[in-house]
Amino acid sequence: MKKVMRYLGHYWATILFAIVLLFVQASCDLNLPNYMSQIVNVGLQQGGVENASPDAISAKGMTFLQIFMDENEKTDVNASYSLKSVGELADSYPLNSTEEIYTLNSGVSTETRSHLNEIFGQSTWTFIDTMKSLQTQSGSSSPMMGNSDSPSTSDLSSIDFSKLYQMMPMLQKIPASVINEARTEAQQNQQSLLEQSGTILTKNFYQELGVNTDSIQQNYIMHQGLLMVLITLASGIASVLVGLISARVAAGISRDLRRDIFSNVEDFSNSEFDKFGTASLITRTTNDVTQIQMFFVFGIRMICYAPIMGVGGVIMALKKSGSMTWIIALACALLIALILVIFTVAMPKFKIMQKLIDRLNLVARENLSGLMVTRAFSNQKFEEDRFDTANKDLTNTQLFVNRVMVCMMPTMMFIMNGVSLLIVWVGAHQISESAMQVGDMMAFIQYAMQIIMSFLMISVMFIMFPRAAVAGDRIAEVLETKPSIHDPENPESFDESKKGIIEFKDVCFRYHGADEDVLNHISFTANPGKTTAFIGSTGSGKSTLINLIPRFYDVTGGEILVDGRDIRKVPQKELHSRIGYVPQKGVLLSGTIASNLRYGAPDATDEKIEKVAEVAQASEFINTKPQKMEESISEGGNNVSGGQKQRLSIARALATNAEIYLFDDSFSALDFKTDAALRKALHLYTSTATILLVAQRVSTIMHADQIIVLEEGKIVGCGTHHELLETCPTYYEIASSQLSKEELE
């Protein structure tokens, strides 16, 4: 997975921008519950009054509150308020038309206003506790605060100032010890509760002044609501941009991975293909890369966003209520335990799942490519059972993983709903005890949900990561596999004086992991203008020998020289440019006949490709096609016959004008007439080239300048047709099985 993670380096600036956007989104999301809390606490419960310290208060009201302040508090309040004479601010405060009022000085700092809020809040609760104490002593209800047996913040909204001011002389005579005791008791409450009580009393003071408090409440709620809309809009924009960035980065990484995998696989020798298998390489290039892409699409967002929301949610929740933190801790512990169980159970299955996908692709690919053989032997039922077994194995594994995943969501929802109920139950008790406000409890629930959702996102990443890690390791395995055949560090140039000469010097070859050599001490020379043919029984090493020349495999002993140079000491591209290769199984690419013939010679003219088609005896069937050279070729050349495919493959090699031509049993699908005509035309067209020809039919090679007979990887005969009939029993045996007695003579 580390190999794959390096691809993120190309997009570091984009990812950094995405992280910044995620911080913006998280900040917006974390502040929304706080604004909702303010609407409930301030907008609804406090009537839109934000501060416990009033902007204006009647002179009687100021005198009344100062009864419950100490000397330092009185000094701070007097320094912050100014007395306004009658009529000075009557337009804003109607009571001022008949009475003096106090107004808060302009330019008061935030710190000073906060300190004044503490003073007025504390004074309000000192007043409440004082009245409670007096009621307890007298055993009667308070005439100015309704008929409640225990005056509290709820009584402040119905306070009767006229009766309160009548009692001021009596209140001013209350012993200082009683007020000090009430102040000490008031200090036991949370500061938020003190200030909320102060704002309720302040609202009453505004009503006394004749201010429209309904307008204050409406304006506050509208203002806070508008801010919430703007914050939500900003969060949405950030979310959309992060989603776009994540998708583009993930798609870019997938593109780069596929490009690098394909580029590396193109350099693989047959040994590497034997190691991985075609089906597995296809799966790694498609399915595995898709797993990585999906991981990054969600990962860029969740890996960064979830921790921000989790940590931020905890901090904000602690600010709202530190006493209920244990609920969040309990929820987090349960979630972590759930994630660990799922991770432990699901992780091994993901690795198995990818291997089963490889197996399913292999079975499907073999069945589709060998469909005609399957039908010919009436083995459809066997292939169906084989595919069904692979399909069921994969399905059962996927179902097991999905069942584990399905259990996670209900469990998560159960934890979330349980936490909500627990918070409401605990919070309700605290609200009844005046230790918490309703808005704060609602905000705490939302922060708890945000924290749990953060863990949910992390759990999703824990689920996606194992499969992505398995896919990443499989991709890295391909990317880190260095081709066993590579160009030399100090390449040599070909010797043009030995152009077209191929020399095998004591060549031995053994497949990787094999116990014995496939080729043993092969030595011969093939010269330009001559045809060297190879014949032998099946498994004698003919095709293996041909595949050594273009370095599809490297020799394990001896050396092969082309144009006077060891092929391991020259660049592969230059080596291949000198060779026209026709494989044993003709392979055509999707496109047209012309595009296939030009595959090795993109600049070939129309006259050129028509000429090579004529030499390869392909013109006859090409001219019968409606679009001639522009006739479409389907994938793998499935819309042409085996013989036509071979002739087009030969024409494609001839179009390169190579100095060496390798024909690996490339005439096997041709009839004798076409074979003879092709060999005759080929002899004229390639008169100066070196030809190496593998064949099973003696008639195809009997006119070769040099015939090499192979048996069990060894040369058992070398010479012309007539020489080998006399000197090589193996060749004679092959020839006599194919030719009549007259033809042998």
Are residues 572 and 594 both part of a single domain? Answer: no
| pLDDT on residue 706 | 92
Q: What is the mean pLDDT of residues 692-696?
A: 88
pLDDT, averaged across the chain: 84
With CA atoms as reference, report the closest residue to 290 among 475, 78, 159, 152. Answer: 475
pLDDT computed for residue 101 by the predictor: 92
| Most confident option among 21-35, 165-179, 626-640 | 21-35
Instruction: Give the span between the Cα atoms of 179 and 170, in whole angstroms.
Output: 13
DSSP 626: T
- Could you tell me if residue 678 is inside a domain? no
Q: How far apart are CA 346 and CA 530, in angstroms?
A: 64
**344 and 391, same structural domain?**
yes
The total domain count for the chain is 4
pLDDT higher for 696 or 433? 696
- Is 694 in contact with 665 (CB distance < 8 Å)? yes
Q: How far apart are CA 450 and CA 314, in angstroms?
A: 9
CB 693 within 8 A of CB 663: yes
Nearest to residue 666, comparing CAs of 728, 609, 587, 572?
587
- Can you tell me the mean pLDDT for 103-108? 90
Does residue 176 fall inside a structural domain? yes
Output DSSP code: residue 716: E
Q: Is there a single domain that holds both residue 524 and residue 589?
A: no
Say how far apart CA 333 and CA 321 lie, in whole Å: 19
**Same domain for 181 and 128?**
yes
- Condensed to tens digits (0 to 9), the pLDDT of residues 449-462 reads 888 888 778 777 77
* 14, 42, 219, 262, 429 from 440: Cα distances, Å: 38, 11, 21, 58, 13
- Per DSSP, helices labelled H in 433-541 are 438-480
Q: Comparing 236 with 146, which gets the higher pLDDT?
A: 236
Mean pLDDT for 148-174 is 70
Mean of pLDDT values over 473-485: 82
Q: Which helix (H) or strand (E) holds 711?
A: strand 706-711
In this predicted structure, the answer to whether residue 545 has a pLDDT above a threshold of 60 is: yes
Do 464 and 299 meet the contact criterion of CB atoms below 8 Å apart?
Answer: yes
pLDDT of residue 572: 87
Which position has the higher pLDDT, 227 or 316? Answer: 227
pLDDT bucket at 148, cuts 50 / 70 / 90: very low
DSSP class of 492: P
Q: What is the model's pLDDT at position 139?
A: 57
How many whole angstroms separate alpha carbon 505 and alpha carbon 485? 19
At residue 178, the pLDDT reads 84
Task: Choose one of 628, 657, 686: the last residue of a domain.
Answer: 657
pTM of the model: 0.69
Q: Which helix (H) or strand (E) holds 661?
A: strand 660-664
Task: Give the rounded percent of residues in the chain with a pLDDT score beyond 70.
Answer: 95
- Residue 706 · residue 719 · CB < 8 Å: yes
Tell me the pLDDT tens digit for each residue of 562-575: 998 899 899 888 88
Claim to verify: residue 57 and residue 126 sit in the same structural domain: yes
Phi, psi torsion values for 517, nearest 5 degrees: -70, 145
Instruction: Give me the pLDDT at residue 238, please.
Output: 92
Model pLDDT, residue 244: 92
- Please tell me what DSSP assigns to residue 493: P
Name the pLDDT band for 144 (thresholds 50, 70, 90): very low
Instruction: Let me know if residue 515 belongs to a domain.
Output: yes
Same-domain status, 727 and 631: no
Q: Which domain holds residue 58?
A: 52-211
pLDDT tier for residue 146 given thresholds of 50, 70 and 90: very low
67 inside domain? yes
pLDDT in tens, 407-440: 777 887 888 888 888 888 888 887 777 677 788 8
Cα separation, 553 vs 547, whole angstroms = 7
Count other C-beta atoms under 10 Å from residue 712's C-beta.
Answer: 15
pLDDT tens column, 525-542: 999 989 999 998 888 888
In a domain, 37, yes or no: no
CB 606 within 8 A of CB 629: yes
Structure-token pair, residue 712: 């069990």
Say what the pLDDT of residue 532 is.
Answer: 92
The per-residue pLDDT for range 282-293, each reduced to its tens digit, is: 888 888 888 888
- Give me the pLDDT at residue 140, please: 52
Q: Are 419 and 561 within one domain?
A: no
Strand-pairing partners, residue 505, are 559
DSSP label at residue 104: E
> 267 and 404: one domain?
yes
Query: 167, 193, 211 — which closes off a domain?
Result: 211
Cα(479)–Cα(471) distance, rounded to whole angstroms?
Answer: 12
Q: Please say if the pLDDT value at position 593 is more than 90.
A: no
- Which range is least confidently modeled, 13-22, 140-149, 480-489, 651-660? 140-149
Write out pLDDT tens, residues 59-99. 999 999 999 998 899 999 999 999 999 988 988 899 999 99
> In whole angstroms, how far apart are CA 725 and each of 338, 615, 721?
80, 30, 6
| Long-range interactions of 101-109: CB distance < 8 A, separation 24+ | 101/56, 101/57, 101/58, 101/59, 101/209, 102/56, 102/57, 102/58, 102/59, 102/62, 103/55, 103/56, 104/53, 104/54, 104/55, 104/56, 104/80, 105/80, 105/81, 108/80
Residue 226 belongs to a domain: no
Run of H or E including 557: strand 557-562
* Per-residue tokens: 387: 């595919």
Q: CA angle, corner 687, sides to 681 and 688, nearest 5?
A: 150
pLDDT class for 603, splitting at 50, 70, 90? confident
Give one DSSP letter per residue of 26-80, joined into a string.
HHHHHHHHHHHHHIIIIIIISTT---SS-SEEEHHHHHHHHTTS-HHHHHHHHHH
Shared-domain flag, residues 156 and 284: no
Residue 220 lies in a domain: no
At 459, list the tokens. Answer: 């759990």
pLDDT confidence of residue 318: 82
For residue 612, which phi and psi values (nearest 5 degrees)? -65, -30
Q: Is 331 left (phi over 0), alpha (psi -120 to 50) or beta?
A: alpha
**pLDDT greater at residue 489 or residue 141:** 489
Q: Which residue, chain included where needed, has tokens 């499989």? A: 474
Residue 440 lies in a domain: yes
Q: Quick check: helix, strand or coil at residue 541?
A: coil
pLDDT at 155: 59
C-beta separation of 104 from 57 below 8 A: no
**Greater model confidence, 9 or 710:** 710
Same domain, 96 and 16: no
State mean pLDDT over 657-663.
90
Yes or no: say if 173 and 186 are a contact pair by the CB < 8 Å rule: no
How far is residue 466's CA from residue 483's CA, in Å, rounded to a whole number? 28
SS3 207: helix
Same domain, 16 and 76: no
Q: Does pLDDT of 151 surpass 50? A: no
Report the CATH number that the domain containing residue 618 is assigned in CATH: 3.40.50.300
Residue type for 327, please? I
Domain stop point among 631, 657, 683 = 657
| Integer angstrom CA distances of residue 635 from 588, 593, 639, 640, 654 | 7, 12, 8, 11, 22
547 vs 743 pLDDT, higher one: 547
Q: Are 681 and 508 in contact (CB under 8 A)?
A: no
Q: What's the pLDDT band for 333 if we cut at 50, 70, 90? A: confident
Q: Check whether residue 305 and residue 192 sit in a common domain.
A: no
Task: Output 161 or 57, whichever has higher pLDDT.
Answer: 57
CATH number, position 280:
1.20.1560.10
